[in-house]
Structure 1
Amino acid sequence: MLLQRTFLSLAVTAGVLSLASCNKDGEFKKTKSGIEYKIFKKDGSGYSYRSENAEADTAAYKARIGKIMTAHIEYRTSKDSVLQSSRKNMFGFPTFIQLQPVANKGTELEALSLLQPGDSGVFRFNVDSMFVRNTGQPAPPQVKKMGTTLTFFVKAVELMDEAKAKTVSEQMRPQIQAKIKQQATAQLAKDDQQLQDYIKKNNLTAQKDTSGVYYVVTQPGTGPKPKTGQLVSVKYKGSLLSGKVFDTSEKAPNNGKPVDFPIGVGGVIPGWDRVIPLLNKGSKATLLIPSGLAYGARGAGADIPADSPLRFDVELVDVKAAPPQPAGPSAADIQRQIEAMQQQQQAQGGR
């Protein structure tokens, strides 16, 4: 749970949202690989159900391999809860998907191969079957407890070559960055209010780091403070502000032993990298971390919802020397690289 903020990515609008109502129209068909599907084609201002059977990996699809499809994508559980939405993650912009040969049938890639630009599709997968085909392993328990099926909504927007896709993505980038900054500022203010309310409710006397993390030293240590790159050993318990514990070093695989990691190099969530160096070896502390310095808008699986400020009770057990770094290239290696580059340049100049 402590490693750099991650979220299980199962692959990789008004369109996708309208598909929720499309889902009620027509009947699901089924591919030979077991995907249940409905496909709708653009029809004026709406969509009409495509009654003919769709086939994957056709000559028409093979002609599109290597091109980029822009699309809005949404995953929903069998209980119709939104698990992941590209429209939300991309602030309304479509996501980019490079079309690949359909090596594994019964996966999202096969579903995408059934769509033409402008089409919308609803695809229902058996979770275990999809994971086996994607990874060779059954779905993990945290996914299976969300239901036995997963529904994949896709609004295929446009097909383009790599050059155009690069141009379009470069045009989108500053707009997305501006929205990310705007959202992060608003979320930080919201998180800060939640943390202040939590501190007041629990009668804590907390200090605030410039990053926005609050911390309470409950037992001062007398040892050195860790420096960037040094290896630290930390015991911890992580919980939501509701009090629900989502992770602890007391459980497997640590079984009460501290976790070791280099501090200040991005190996853990940013809130830890900011505050652990403020503690002396032997210290115990409570860290109250805003969501942007924890797992952010993605959350972490079923245990940590999106945009969740977190509490960590930690003990800095030990501070050790920085682990050895891989040796860099020798002077002889560098000289050989320079000579090779010079030879390449001379060869190109003689053409």
Structure 2
Amino acid sequence: MRSTSQFLYLALAAGTISLYSCNKGSGDFAKTKSGVEYKLFKNEGGKFTSKELSESDTTYKGRIGKIISLEVEYRTAKDSVLFNSRKQQGVPVMVPLQEVTTKGGLEEAISMLQPGDSGVFRFNLDTIFARSFKTPVPPFMKKAGNTMTVYAKAVKLMTRDEAMVEQQKMMAEQQQKMMAYAEQQLKKDDVILQDYIKKNNLKAQKSPDGIYYIVNTAGTGAKPKTGQLVSVQYKGTLLDGKEFDSSAKSNQGKPIQFPLGVGQVIPGWDKGIALLSKGTKGTLLIPSSLAYGQRGAGTDIPADAPLRFDVELVDIQNAPAAPQGGPAMGR
């Protein structure tokens, strides 16, 4: 669990909840003495009604030291979504409540919320980044305008022990949902990949994991084993041919090196490279569940995108022995 400012900054660096409807037709923003513009709402029988903020409210002192779970969404001045906890995490975020030492930032905004409350907060970009993050405003946000709007819904107030239990429970539930989603998506991706193979007249083999692989030039060496260091030249494209990465661009034309099967690359690479002999030049067609899944990756790889990698397994080496008393390589 991170501090409020740490969480928001990480979320912005990475990238619609029902709160957005609360903002429509609900009048102008109120404003704190420190400059935070806000609209507060309380839940009464399933309906959100406006809530006034009392300047003499002392209830926050009783919440300091506890953890509040929040559903949040951040939007630029042009109303573009920067981050949505429900869509991008699937679970509420956990925020430790601390004494508000710096007014005018996100910390003060969160202090206004009690469990069940919702809020819409509008900040001046220069102010919130200076006060909450101590860092310059990212250029892409400046380009969209001078404000950022945060929609937040306070779900539950907990002790730290309760929050740990809640977080473990939510992660387990989210894992089950992701596995079920991936299973269904794998079936859809298989249809897409089979169609791609047919249209491009490819002679592909299919692994038990659902990866299709094509050997263009067969190697003469052994196949790599888990833990061995493999060196790979590659080019990654979407199925429409759009290139999103390559060793030529990312590694100055040199093959990348990584220990196989220890999770340093996407699962489709750990499993797919293991199918090839040293010296093989081939193609891996990887379903999205073994690539970047429903989240995608940046702006280049959409959600649920099967990927094509043209690869060459250049070399295989045994991993260096770990020093005595030290951890093994790759752990």
Note whether the superposition's TM-score is higher than 0.5: yes
| Residue identity in the other structure for 1:48 | T
Per-residue deviation, 1:162? 2.9
Q: TM-score by structure 2 length?
A: 0.79
Write the distance in 1 (CA, Å) between the matches of 2:274 and 2:169: 39
Q: Does 1:307 align with 2:309?
A: no
Identify the match of residue 265 of structure 1 among 259, 262, 271: 262
Distance 1:104 1:241, change over 3 A: farther
Alignment-derived partner of residue 159 in structure 2: 161
Of stretches 73-82 and 124-133 in structure 1, the one that deviates more from structure 2 is 124-133
Per-residue deviation, 1:144? 4.5
Alignment-derived partner of residue 10 in structure 1: 12
| Residue identity in the other structure for 1:312 | F
Contact persistence 2:283–2:308 (CA under 8 A):
yes
Per-residue deviation, 1:273? 0.4
Alignment-derived partner of residue 38 in structure 2: 37
Alignment-derived partner of residue 276 in structure 2: 279
Identify the match of residue 217 of structure 1 among 191, 215, 218: 215
Alignment-derived partner of residue 287 in structure 2: 290
Identify the match of residue 249 of structure 2 among 248, 251, 255: 251
Alignment-derived partner of residue 198 in structure 2: 200
Per-residue deviation, 1:296? 1.5
Contact persistence 1:230–1:323 (CA under 8 A):
no
Alignment-derived partner of residue 21 in structure 1: 21
Residues 102-158 of structure 1 show CA distances to partners (whole Å, capped at 9, x for unaligned) of 4666654443223111211123456676566666554667x6599455433211122
| Residue identity in the other structure for 2:49 | S
Contact persistence 1:266–1:273 (CA under 8 A):
yes
Question: Kindly, what percent of the aligned residue pairs are identical?
Answer: 57
Identify the match of residue 190 of structure 1 among 182, 188, 191: 188
Per-residue deviation, 1:328? 1.9
| Residue identity in the other structure for 2:309 | F
Contact persistence 1:69–1:96 (CA under 8 A):
yes
Residues 15-58 of structure 1 show CA distances to partners (whole Å, capped at 9, x for unaligned) of x6432122222223456776543322234442233454879xx8
Write the distance in 1 (CA, Å) between the matches of 2:129 and 2:320: 37
Identify the match of residue 242 of structure 1 among 240, 243, 249: 240
Structure 1: unaligned runs, 5 residues or longer: 1-7, 331-351
Q: TM-score by structure 1 length?
A: 0.75
Contact persistence 1:77–1:83 (CA under 8 A):
yes
Structure 2: unaligned runs, 5 residues or longer: 1-9
Q: Does 1:85 align with 2:84?
A: yes
Alignment-derived partner of residue 7 in structure 2: none
Distance 1:139 1:283, change over 3 A: farther
Write the distance in 2 (CA, Å) between the matches of 1:108 and 1:217: 54
Distance 1:264 1:175, change over 3 A: closer
Residues 50-99 of structure 1 show CA distances to partners (whole Å, capped at 9, x for unaligned) of 454879xx8543432221212222334555454443334565x6443332
CA RMSD of aligned residues (A): 3.4
Per-residue deviation, 1:318? 1.8
| Residue identity in the other structure for 1:155 | K
Contact persistence 1:54–1:114 (CA under 8 A):
no
Residues 157-205 of structure 1 show CA distances to partners (whole Å, capped at 9, x for unaligned) of 2212234334545655654443233212111112222212221222211
Write the distance in 2 (CA, Å) between the matches of 1:202 and 1:82: 37
Contact persistence 2:120–2:151 (CA under 8 A):
yes
